[in-house]
Amino acid sequence: MTSPTVGQDSRVPLLVIAREWGRIGITGFGGPPAHIALLRRLCVERYSWIDATEFEDGIAATNLLPGPASTQLAIYCAWRLRGPVGAIIGGICFIVPGLVLIVLLSVLFLAAHPPLWVEGAAAGAGAVVPAVAVAAGAALVRASWRRVEVRRAPRVRWVVYFIVGLIAGATVGAYLVLVLLVLGLIEFGFQRDWPAKPPTAALSVLVPFLVPVGLSVGGLLAIAWVALKVGALSYGGGFVIIPLMQHDAVVTYHWMTNSQFLDAVALGQVTPGPVVLTVAAVGYAAAGFAGAALATVIAFAPSFLFILFGASHFDRLRANRRIQAFLTGAGAAVIGAIIGSAVPLGLALSQLWQVGILCGGLVWLLAFRRGVVSAIIIAAAIGVTFALLGAPLSR
């Protein structure tokens, strides 16, 4: 991948970047695949601002970074056109529409006493969330498996990492990031050019996790800590944030009930823009509008920093064997963790009729291979019907 000249196409006005990236932020329903398709249509096919090969290289490079990959790709494309200022404007315009919508919906869905139809919609949409987790993880298996060398030992290790991630996603809650980092470092260690002593930069990442999570911190500091884990230490895309947040939001800090957390995840899936905006709903539950704003800024700041300071080095990032090895180990564990997160999400369901919706969602997503947004909307409609018919609800 050849590093582009920053601001190479200075003919693209900043107002155009703001308008087009904002439009994608408004219309980008469907998560990362939809965002990538819209960015490709805009930058490659419609205006030829970016070469097709360079765009694909940008996808590959941003997938090597922790945090929300499609958001980083949106920031990268804007950086490619107008440098740092373009990256900041494009990234903000991509994020803000979804942020406004998810906060407004959080006011309605996370209220102490929402209307009956809202409770039904939330219960129905929340019931399908475990199925969304399974489908999200299953969709990543093939690409991750292709990264593995066609030899027995690397493939056996991949399976082990996957199983460990599966168990961790179902059980360890707030410590999932530590598991992912350790497994990534283990695969890193299988490289033949392993240095004489462990890489201090990698080990330094582990230091914060040596202190028990949640001790002596609360309020805005706790929100900032949870958001930092979501934005800077989550590998594998937006859905890996779910097992990262659930334990903190429900068990450690008691910001939400399990049912409300399912509502927040559903809102993050059904609204346009990045799935990571789920963290804004969690922040709102913790501390209102200030909490939502803080969580959003902290969660997305690493993505801006990665692009602003690292985009010109993407070619070296992709060529680094050690980084590739780390991501092979961590990536397999991430897929397992995403699927494993369906266990605590499923256990959060409190009504028998929700289990029926969950089973239907699995069929809709895995057998029929239909979209997540349609699954959540249909589940919400069924939930409203059950509520109006007097079915039991739980918050």
Q: Are 117 and 303 spatial neighbours (Cβ–Cβ below 8 Å)? A: no
pLDDT greater than 80 at residue 238:
no
pLDDT in tens, 146-171: 878 778 899 999 999 999 999 998 98
Query: How much of the chain exceeds pLDDT 90, in percent?
Result: 55
For residue 193, the model assigns a pLDDT of 55
pLDDT band at 64 (very low <50, low <70, confident <90, very high): confident
Which pLDDT value is given to residue 118? Answer: 94
pLDDT digits (tens, 9 = 90+) for 92-122: 999 999 999 999 999 999 998 899 999 999 9
Does residue 219 have a pLDDT over 90?
A: no
pLDDT-above-70 percentage for the chain: 89
Q: Could you give the dihedral angle defined by the CA atoms of residues 27, 33, 37 and 43, in that order, rounded to the nearest 10 degrees?
A: 90
pLDDT at 201 exceeding the cut of 50: no
pLDDT at residue 65 above 60?
yes
Minimal CA–CA distance to 108: which of 125, 94, 131?
125
3-state secondary structure of 256: coil
pLDDT, tens only, 183-194: 988 998 886 555
pLDDT digits (tens, 9 = 90+) for 296-338: 999 999 999 999 999 988 878 777 888 888 888 888 998 899 8
Over range 264-274, report the average pLDDT. 89
Angle at Cα 103 formed by Cα 365 and Cα 138, nearest 5°? 20
Nearest-10 Cα torsion for 155, 157, 158, 159: 90
pLDDT of residue 24: 96
Distance CA(229)–CA(225), nearest Å, equals 6
The predicted structure's pLDDT at residue 78: 97
Short-list 236, 226, 237, 344, CA closest to 280: 226
Rounded to whole angstroms, the Cα distance separating 273 from 34 reads 9
- CB within 8 Å of 93: residues ≥ 6 apart: 17, 18, 19, 21, 22, 25
pLDDT tens across 344-374, in order? 999 999 899 999 999 999 999 999 999 888 9
* 260 confidence band (pLDDT: 50, 70, 90): very high
Predicted confidence at residue 208, as pLDDT, reads: 44
- Chain segment 12-55, per-residue pLDDT in tens: 999 999 999 999 999 998 888 889 999 999 999 999 999 998 89
Distance CA 378, CA 192 (A): 51
Return the pLDDT at 232.
84
Residue 210 has pLDDT above 90, yes or no: no
Averaged pLDDT for residues 72-85: 96
Query: Does residue 377 or residue 195 have the better pLDDT?
Result: 377
Residue 339, both tokens: 């699927």
- pTM (2 d.p.): 0.85
At residue 275, the pLDDT reads 82
What pLDDT score was predicted for residue 383?
96
pLDDT at 204 over 60: no
> How much is the mean pLDDT over the chain?
86
What pLDDT shows up at residue 327? 80
